[in-house]
Structure 1
Amino acid sequence: MRQYFTFFILGLLITFSSCRTDFDTVASSGDLKFSKDTVYLDTVFKNIGSSTYQLKVYNKSKDDISIPTIQLKKGLNSKYRMTVDGMNGNNGKIFNDVTLLAKDSLYIFIETTADITDANPTDFLYTDEIQFDGGSNLQEVALVTLIQDAVFLYPKQNPDGTKEKIEIDGKSVDGFYLDENDAVNGNELIFNNQKPYVIYGFAGVPESKTVIFEAGARVHFHANSGLFVDNNASLQINGDVSTTEKLENEVVFEGDRLEPEYSDVPGQWSSIIFSKESTNHSINHLTLKNATIGLSIQNQDETAFQIKNTQIYNCAEYGILAQNAHLNGENIVINYSGLASLSCVYGGNYSFTHCTFYNNWQSSSHFAVNLSNSLAGATPETNPLIQATFNNCIIYGSSTNEFNLSKNTAAAFVYQLNNCLLKFSSSSSNPDYQFKTDTEHYNQIILNENPKFYNVNLNKFNIDNTSPAFAKGNQAYIIPLDIIGATRTSSPDLGAYQSDVFPK
Structure 2
Amino acid sequence: MRQYFAIFVLSLILVFSSCRTDFDTVASTGDLKFSKDTVYLDTVFKNIGSSTYQLKVYNRSKNDISIPTIQFKKGLNSKYRMTVDGMSGTNGKLFKDVTLLAKDSLYIFIETTADITDANPTDFLYTDEIQFDSGTNLQEVALVTLIQDAIFLYPNQNPDGTKEKIKIDGKDVDGFYLSENDPVNGNELLFTKQKPYVIYGYAGVPENKTITFEAGARVHFHANSGLYVGKNASLQINGTTSTTEKLENEVVFEGDRLESLYSDIPGQWKSVIIENGSDNHSINHLTLKNAVTGLDIRNTANTIQLKNTQIYNCVEYGILGQNSKIVGENIVINYAGLASLSCIYGGNYNFTHCTFNNNWQNGSHFAVNLSNSLAGATPETNPLTQATFNNCIIYGSSTNEFNLDINTNTPFVYQLNNCLLKFSSSSTDPNYQFKTDTEHYNNIILNENPRFYNVNQNKFNIDKTSSAFAKGNQAYIIPLDILGITRTSPPDLGAYQSQDFPK
Q: TM-score normalized by structure 2?
A: 0.97
Aligned partner of 2:382 in structure 1 is 383
Structure 2 CA distance for partners of 1:417 and 1:503, relative to 1, 3 Å: farther
Q: How far apart are the structure 2 equivalents of 1:427 and 1:4?
A: 79
Kept in 2: contact 1:486–1:501 (CA 8 A): no
Displacement after TM superposition at 1:404 (Å): 0.5
Aligned partner of 2:442 in structure 1 is 443
Q: How far apart are the structure 1 equivalents of 2:192 and 2:3?
A: 89
Aligned partner of 1:265 in structure 2 is 265
The answer to whether 1:112 aligns with 2:88 is: no
Q: How does 1:377-456 map to 2 (within 5 A)?
A: 377-456=376-455
Kept in 2: contact 1:23–1:99 (CA 8 A): no
Aligned partner of 1:362 in structure 2 is 361
SS in 2 for 1:482: coil
Q: Counterpart of 1:393 in structure 2: which amino acid? A: C
SS in 1 for 2:271: strand
Q: Counterpart of 1:104 in structure 2: which amino acid? A: D
SS in 2 for 1:176: strand
Aligned partner of 1:224 in structure 2 is 224
- Gaps in structure 2 of 5+ consecutive residues: none
Q: How far apart are the structure 1 equivalents of 2:5 and 2:322?
A: 89
Structure 2 CA distance for partners of 1:385 and 1:64, relative to 1, 3 Å: same
Aligned partner of 1:484 in structure 2 is 483
Displacement after TM superposition at 1:362 (Å): 2.0
SS in 2 for 1:325: strand
Displacement after TM superposition at 1:389 (Å): 0.5
Kept in 1: contact 2:332–2:495 (CA 8 A): yes
Q: How far apart are the structure 1 equivalents of 2:183 and 2:452?
A: 49
Aligned partner of 1:350 in structure 2 is 349
Displacement after TM superposition at 1:5 (Å): 10
Displacement after TM superposition at 1:191 (Å): 0.5
Q: How far apart are the structure 2 equivalents of 1:310 and 1:356?
A: 10
Displacement after TM superposition at 1:300 (Å): 2.4
Structure 2 CA distance for partners of 1:350 and 1:15, relative to 1, 3 Å: same
SS in 1 for 2:198: strand
Aligned partner of 2:89 in structure 1 is 89
Aligned partner of 2:181 in structure 1 is 181
Aligned-pair Cα RMSD in Å: 1.7
Aligned partner of 1:461 in structure 2 is 460
Q: Counterpart of 2:100 in structure 1: which amino acid? A: L
Q: TM-score normalized by structure 1?
A: 0.97
Q: Counterpart of 2:357 in structure 1: which amino acid? A: Y
Aligned partner of 2:235 in structure 1 is 235
Q: Counterpart of 2:446 in structure 1: which amino acid? A: L
Q: How far apart are the structure 2 equivalents of 1:363 and 1:84?
A: 39
Aligned partner of 1:150 in structure 2 is 150
Q: Counterpart of 2:323 in structure 1: which amino acid? A: N
Aligned partner of 1:204 in structure 2 is 204
Q: How far apart are the structure 1 equivalents of 2:2 and 2:455?
A: 79
Kept in 1: contact 2:450–2:468 (CA 8 A): yes
Q: Counterpart of 1:30 in structure 2: which amino acid? A: G
SS in 1 for 2:414: strand
Q: How far apart are the structure 2 equivalents of 1:320 and 1:85?
A: 46
Q: How far apart are the structure 2 equivalents of 1:13 and 1:379?
A: 80
Displacement after TM superposition at 1:21 (Å): 6.7
Displacement after TM superposition at 1:174 (Å): 0.5
Q: Counterpart of 2:455 in structure 1: which amino acid? A: V
Q: How far apart are the structure 2 equivalents of 1:258 and 1:417?
A: 40
Structure 2 CA distance for partners of 1:13 and 1:436, relative to 1, 3 Å: closer
Displacement after TM superposition at 1:500 (Å): 2.5
Query: After the TM superposition, which parts of structure 1 deviate over 2 Å for at least 4 consecutive aligned residues?
Result: 1-23, 299-302, 500-504
Displacement after TM superposition at 1:105 (Å): 0.8
Q: How far apart are the structure 2 equivalents of 1:4 and 1:45?
A: 68
Displacement after TM superposition at 1:17 (Å): 3.7
Question: Deviations for 1:254-287, whole angstroms, at most 9, x for unmatched residues?
Answer: 0111111111111111000011111000000000
